[in-house]
Structure 1
């Protein structure tokens, strides 16, 4: 099938899927993710992962995280950096240790393989979470700021741990001996570069493009910054979505923020972002699922509970009530591109075989499918809790 018809099918089905999800009171992203499962190799075989879908989906997730940064609040992120770091740390420890113990003790895996499988489950992707937070108007809430901050810290921890594990245990092309400083310094350089460019270069770049006599100057400038920051992130060993997020965050501190948000969102949500959501579902197949069913089911349980419990405890440690703390935990449940990256590295370093690689892809995709439902459930609980508190306050005022 030509790429043109693939795009037509994706755009039609994702809008129908989002419509049905909203009608059933589910997050719209659930419908779009399920389109990938139903139209993909798992069921109807209308679509399959390929070069076109891979490239479009990569651009989609980059633009999605750029929009998240554009609508972000840097002051709020800085205010909650301590709980964010704690949530990220516990969110890495809980699933990594639990999965490693399950694999080594329960299924007899070598400890090197067990640790790597645990590391795959430690990676958070907030691309899906961002969509739910936007739909439920929680992007700039206290919980939203902690989730986004924790996702940044989680990304750094995962990349560093990945490099350490590959250098210690790997035997393939992916295993290259590196010192710890060689792993850490590029990441530190990334944050310094993002800060310098974001504070001084981004406003000047936008101002310069604003003076050009051409159509959609500022929109083009924003897209250039989005992909440039993403490219710089990859060059320094970080996730491209992290670079795009920082580009959006830098623009959010300028006077161009509102105008650009109105321009960039239609570009992302009309074409690129739907392809990204569908691509997640396309990775699901039901081949050999029965053989590894118990193993996959237990890993899914650990993947969900590890992040949920770790994130909730981290939030509670910094004064959140349990309702809000559970929102933070649920926001860390989703996996995505980072888990897929770690899985590919583990396969290349001969630390997992093809069967376990497929199992980890299934765990990643199913966890990502379930995450929006969990997040919405806990957000609705906080809304109910808040409403009940207000009612109680009004009753007490009337009595007094």
Structure 2
């Protein structure tokens, strides 16, 4: 099948899937994810993962997180950095240790393999969460700010812990020994560069392009910054989506924010982002899974409860009520590209075999499918609670008057 036919199928099926999902009152992203599962190798074999879908999906997730940054609020993020860091820490510790203990005491794994499996479950991907927050108009709330801030901290923790575990336990090309300092320094440099470039270079760059005599100057400049920051992040050992998010966040502090949001969103949501959501479902295959059903089922439970409880507890410690804290917890449940990166490193370091690698891909995809449903449920509960409080206050004011 040619790449053009693949693209036509993906675009048609994702829009139909999103429509059906919205009609049934589910987040649209659920329909798009299920398209990948149903049309992919797991069921109908209409689509298969190819280099085309891989690179389009990479661009899709980068643009999605760039849009999230573009619509973000830097002041809100800075205001809630303490709860975000607490949520991230608890959200890494609980699923990692729980999964490692299950693997060692329940299934006889070595501690080295068990720690890597735990790390796979500790990695959060907010790209799916961002889509639900946008749909529910919940992005620029304190819960949204805590989720995004925690995802950044979570990413850093996961990368550093991954490097330490590879150094201690791994073998092969992926396990070349590095000191903790060598692992940490590029990450520190990344944040310094993001701060400096975001504050001084980004506004100048956009103003320079705005003066050029060519079409769509500023939109092109924004995409250059998006992909440039993503490439810089990868070169310093960070996730490309993290670089794209910071590029968007830097632009959100300029006067070009509103103009660019109207330009970039159609580019992402018309083509690239649907391919990203479908690509997640294409990674699922049910071949040989019957031997690992108990293992997969227990890991899914730990993956969901560990993140949900850890995130909610961290948020509740900083004064969020139960519904708001549960929104934060649910926002941290989704796994994605970072979990897949850890799984690939574990496989190349000979710490998990192909069967367990496949099992971890299934766990990652299923938690990613469940996360938007749970998040939407808690957001609806919080909105209902706010509505009831507002109505009761209105009645009290009417009685007083």
Normalising by structure 2, we get a TM-score of 0.99
The match for 1:11 is 11
The match for 2:226 is 226
Q: Give the Å deviation of 1:398.
A: 4.2
CA distance in 1, matches of 2:174, 2:317: 38
SS at match of 1:250: helix
Q: Give the Å deviation of 1:392.
A: 2.7
CA distance in 1, matches of 2:33, 2:184: 35
CA distance in 1, matches of 2:278, 2:382: 30
The match for 1:246 is 246
RMSD: 0.7
Q: How does 1:315-330 map to 2 (within 5 A)?
A: 315-330=315-330
Q: Give the Å deviation of 1:390.
A: 1.9
Deviations 1:48-67 (A, max 9, x none): 00100000000000000000
Q: Give the Å deviation of 1:27.
A: 0.4
Aligned: 1:197 with 2:197: yes
The match for 2:53 is 53
Deviations 1:250-290 (A, max 9, x none): 00000000000000000000000000000000011111121
CA distance in 2, matches of 1:44, 1:117: 30
Q: Give the Å deviation of 1:385.
A: 1.2
The match for 1:106 is 106
Q: Give the Å deviation of 1:399.
A: 4.6
The match for 2:162 is 162
The match for 1:272 is 272
CA distance in 2, matches of 1:27, 1:278: 15
Gaps of 5+ in 1: none
Detail structure 1 runs of 4+ shifted over 4 Å in the superposition.
Answer: none
The match for 1:66 is 66
SS at match of 1:291: helix
CA distance in 2, matches of 1:96, 1:359: 16
The match for 2:351 is 351
Q: How does 1:71-220 map to 2 (within 5 A)?
A: 71-220=71-220
SS at match of 2:290: coil
Gaps of 5+ in 2: none
SS at match of 1:290: helix
CA distance in 1, matches of 2:77, 2:232: 22
SS at match of 2:175: coil
The match for 2:384 is 384
The match for 1:261 is 261
SS at match of 1:234: helix
CA distance in 2, matches of 1:176, 1:362: 28
CA distance in 2, matches of 1:243, 1:67: 12
Deviations 1:160-188 (A, max 9, x none): 00000000000111001111100000000
Normalising by structure 1, we get a TM-score of 0.99
Q: Give the Å deviation of 1:386.
A: 1.0
Deviations 1:230-260 (A, max 9, x none): 0000000000000000000000000000000
Q: Give the Å deviation of 1:393.
A: 2.3
SS at match of 1:292: helix
SS at match of 1:346: helix
The match for 2:374 is 374
SS at match of 2:64: helix
Deviations 1:188-208 (A, max 9, x none): 000000000000000000000
The match for 2:287 is 287
Q: Give the Å deviation of 1:344.
A: 0.3
CA distance in 1, matches of 2:394, 2:135: 29
Deviations 1:276-327 (A, max 9, x none): 0000000111111211000000000000000000000000000000000000
The match for 1:341 is 341
Q: How does 1:302-313 map to 2 (within 5 A)?
A: 302-313=302-313
CA distance in 2, matches of 1:64, 1:397: 43
Aligned positions, number: 400
CA distance in 2, matches of 1:387, 1:108: 50
CA distance in 1, matches of 2:306, 2:388: 30
